[in-house]
Amino acid sequence: MDIKEIAKALADGCRAGAAKVRENLDKLYADDAVSVEAADMGGQGRETVGKSGIHGKHDWWESSMEEHATDVVGPFYHGEDQFSLLFDVDVTDKDSGKRMQMKEIGVYHVKDGKITREEFHYAVD
């Protein structure tokens, strides 16, 4: 797959929901892909390596947050090896009951037909 096919598949999958996101993780990501958050989430550090680790991040998110709506804008391309997506998310933290709206930019690096790195940019309080 080329970068535009990968970006479209990822964006479409994010719009489709959690099951498609998981399927795309297995299909579109390199085995040793790296995921980097803007801040330490849940005391696990900012960086996660490997598909199984990234699946673990999704496990945490799904068990911690109730998603009411997610809007995905993009993809936006940067050269031949990067693209980004803009996420607008409405969630409730299951522990606190606090509902919040978040904006997040995901930057994705592609090499040899796979996503090798994702970086998430968002406001950190």
DSSP string, the chain: --HHHHHHHHHHHHHH-HHHHHHHHHHHEEEEEEEE-SS--TTS-SEEESHHHHHHHHHHHHHHEEEEEEEEEEEEEETTTEEEEEEEEEEEETTT--EEEEEEEEEEEEETTEEEEEEEEE---
Residues of the domain holding 17: 3-122
Q: For residue 48, give the CATH number of its domain.
A: 3.10.450.50
Confidence bin at 93 (pLDDT 50/70/90): very high
pLDDT tens profile 43-62: 778 999 999 999 998 898 89
pLDDT score recorded for residue 43: 76
Report field, pTM of the whole predicted structure over 0.85: yes
